[in-house]
């Protein structure tokens, strides 16, 4: 017989209600799950997150100011370092802005190459995100599959651009390098393996009871609220809002591509994951269409005011050496003006606001990094969840320090 209050018989007799005071802990800045270097100041009430404030700036490089002191082409390597997982998309966005200021149209082959390279980059970006979300929930295998697929593509990018990550591949009026001999076959050969690996991830995670329980209904945001926060890209489409710059405002040769925009319904972590998985398949379609449609021809315009002359002319003719000298020393002369150019980056609308005063260097450049408004909604997404949900939510918004902190 149990006698309340008697320790000998009542197991709860000595239990007292423990008063909990909010506890503030740091997550990061140097933490494997912090995707770069960002700090979250988390206030906990027991296991529950009361507040989580991201503190950014550890990757601030002074992008805007550095750009003002560089020629138009010298800005290009800085854009590699915005979203360093999909640099070709950043390169393209910036160069399109400069071309719009000049009123220049790149060659058709260059347009296809940019879309091709951009979609490979997008796959790499999404693979990184879905691989990491599995890893951070304990599914190490999926991360290895995703990385294997990403490596395959980064090798193709290295063959195409000469660099894996910091590619600086686009040029005003075109791109820096054409596809090397045999590269197309190489790419066509490795794409099925990339899809196969993506499917492996899909099989391992998408219907995995543990994974679904941990992600579904977590970090939910509605479409309207997401728009209010300034969401774009996969995080917005996961809420069911159909906005993709490639379809809504087609640029380059996207209007010639047959692809679909996958949409989510709930706007939770699970939808953000599934949506990226599906976008990989759509990007794969675009890549194949690019390869099929790509016309032969020059990869950069033949106008020495904007494109460097061929080396044969630089070393062998006074015209070539003069053009080279002026382009390198003083930069391309971009007419005075102001443009905003927006493209679909891997995480959403990547905007470049560029001001020229007619000189060889930009007067001002501002970047709308898609990650910034999404990161600013992180406290809203995390609040009220258990501390264990923080990492998957943070992963699913795919914050990239380079573009957020610039």
Partner 1 sequence: MSDSGAVSTGGGQPGAARAQAQIPAPPKMVKVFVDGVEVQADSRDNLIEAARRVGVAIPYFCYHPRLSIAGQCRMCLVETSDAPGRLVPGCQVRVKEGLKVVTNSPAVKDNQRGCMEFHLVNHPVDCAICDQSGECKLQDYYMEYDHQPSRIRVNKLNKPKREIFGPQVVYDAERCIMCTRCVRFMDEIAKETQLAVVDRGTHSLIATFPGQPLDSKYSGNTVDICPVGALLNRDFRFQSRVWFVNKSPAVCTGCSNGCNVYAESRGDVIYRLLPRRNEEVNQVWMCDEGRLTYHASNEKRVEWARTGRGDTSASVGPRIAVDRAVELLKPLAGQGGIGIAVSAQCTNEEAAAAFQLGERLGATRYFLGAQPQGDSDDFLIRADKNPNTSGVLLAAEAFGVKLDVAHGIDRVKALIAMRTDGLPADKLARLEVFVAIAQNEDAVTAEADVTLPCKSVYEQDGSLINWYGRLQRTWESVPAQRADTASGWSWAERILTGLGGSASTSVAAAFRTLAERSPHLNGLSFEQLPEEGIVLEALLPQDWPARAPRPLPGGHSVRGPQTTPPGMKVGDEASGGSR
Residues that bind partner 1 (CB under 8 A): 303-305, 309, 313, 315-323, 325-326, 329, 333
The residue (of 31 and 305) whose beta carbon lies closer to partner 1 is 305
Q: Which long-range contacts (CB under 8 A, 24 or more apart) does 245-249 make?
A: 245/342, 245/343, 245/344, 245/349, 246/344, 249/342
Residue corresponding to tokens 């315009």: 301
Residue corresponding to tokens 């296809």: 112
Which residues, at least 6 apart from 70, have a Cβ–Cβ distance to it below 8 Å? Answer: 78, 361, 362
The residue (of 230 and 310) whose beta carbon lies closer to partner 1 is 310
Q: How far is the CB of 358 from partner 1 (least distance, A)?
A: 11
The residue (of 58 and 363) whose beta carbon lies closer to partner 1 is 363
Q: How far is the CB of 318 from partner 1 (least distance, A)?
A: 5
Q: How far is the CB of 84 from partner 1 (least distance, A)?
A: 32
Which residues, at least 6 apart from 155, have a Cβ–Cβ distance to it below 8 Å? Answer: 164, 190
Task: Give the CA distances from residue 256 to residues 129, 262, 384, in Å, rounded to whole numbers and listed in that order.
Answer: 28, 18, 45
Measured over the CA atoms of residue 84, residue 87, residue 89 and residue 93, the dihedral's sign is positive
374 membership: H or E segment, kind and range: helix 371-376
The residue (of 58 and 304) whose beta carbon lies closer to partner 1 is 304
Distance CA 21, CA 304 (A): 68
Q: How far is the CB of 304 from partner 1 (least distance, A)?
A: 5
Q: How far is the CB of 330 from partner 1 (least distance, A)?
A: 8
At CA 193, angle to CA 187 and CA 199, rounded to 5? 135
- Look up residue 27 and give its DSSP letter: E
**Hey, what's the torsion of the CAs at 373, 377, 378, 379, to 10 degrees?**
140
Q: DSSP letters along 43-98, please?
A: EEETTEEEEEEEE--TT---HHHHHHTS-TTTTHHHHHTTSTTSHHHHHHHHHHHH
The residue (of 54 and 360) whose beta carbon lies closer to partner 1 is 360
The residue (of 2 and 317) whose beta carbon lies closer to partner 1 is 317
Q: How far is the CB of 178 from partner 1 (least distance, A)?
A: 21
The residue (of 7 and 335) whose beta carbon lies closer to partner 1 is 335
Q: How far is the CB of 359 from partner 1 (least distance, A)?
A: 13
The residue (of 28 and 320) whose beta carbon lies closer to partner 1 is 320
Q: How far is the CB of 286 from partner 1 (least distance, A)?
A: 36
């Amino acid at each position: 017989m149990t006698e309340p209050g008697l320790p000998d018989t009542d197991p709860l007799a000595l239990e007292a209600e423990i008063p909990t005071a909010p506890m503030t802990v740091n997550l990061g800045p140097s933490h494997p799950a912090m995707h770069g270097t960002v700090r979250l100041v988390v206030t906990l009430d027991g296991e529950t997150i009361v507040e989580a404030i991201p503190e950014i700036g550890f990757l601030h490089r002074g992008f805007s100011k550095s750009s003002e002191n560089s020629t138009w082409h010298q800005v290009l390597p800085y854009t590699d370092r915005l979203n360093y997982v999909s640099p070709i998309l950043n390169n393209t966005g910036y160069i399109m802005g400069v071309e719009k200021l000049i009123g220049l149209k790149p060659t058709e082959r260059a347009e296809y190459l940019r879309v091709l390279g951009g979609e490979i980059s997008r796959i790499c970006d999404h693979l990184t995100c879905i691989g990491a979300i599995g890893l951070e929930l304990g599914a190490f295998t999926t991360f290895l599959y995703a990385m294997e697929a990403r490596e395959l593509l980064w090798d193709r990018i290295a063959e195409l651009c000469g660099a894996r990550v910091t590619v600086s591949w686009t040029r005003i009026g075109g791109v820096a390098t054409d596809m090397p001999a045999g590269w197309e076959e190489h790419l066509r050969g490795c794409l099925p393996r990339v899809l196969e690996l993506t499917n492996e991830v899909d099989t391992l995670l998408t219907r995995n009871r543990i994974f679904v329980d941990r992600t579904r209904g977590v970090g939910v945001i509605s479409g309207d609220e997401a728009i209010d926060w300034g969401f774009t890209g996969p995080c917005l489409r996961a809420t069911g809002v159909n906005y993709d710059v490639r379809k809504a405002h087609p640029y380059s040769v996207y209007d010639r591509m047959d692809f679909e925009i996958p949409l989510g319904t709930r706007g939770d972590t699970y939808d953000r994951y599934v949506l990226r998985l599906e976008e990989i398949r759509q990007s794969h379609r675009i890549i194949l269409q690019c390869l099929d449609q790509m016309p032969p021809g020059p990869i950069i315009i033949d106008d020495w005011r904007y494109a460097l002359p061929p080396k044969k002319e630089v070393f062998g003719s006074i015209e070539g050496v003069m053009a080279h000298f002026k382009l390198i020393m003083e930069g391309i002369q971009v007419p005075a003006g102001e443009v905003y150019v927006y493209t679909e980056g891997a995480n959403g609308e990547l905007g470049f606001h560029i001001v020229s005063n007619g000189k060889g260097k930009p007067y001002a450049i501002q970047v709308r990094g898609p990650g910034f408004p999404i990161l600013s909604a992180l406290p809203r997404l995390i609040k009220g969840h258990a501390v264990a949900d923080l990492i998957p939510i943070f992963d699913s918004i795919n914050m990239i320090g380079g573009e957020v902190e610039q």
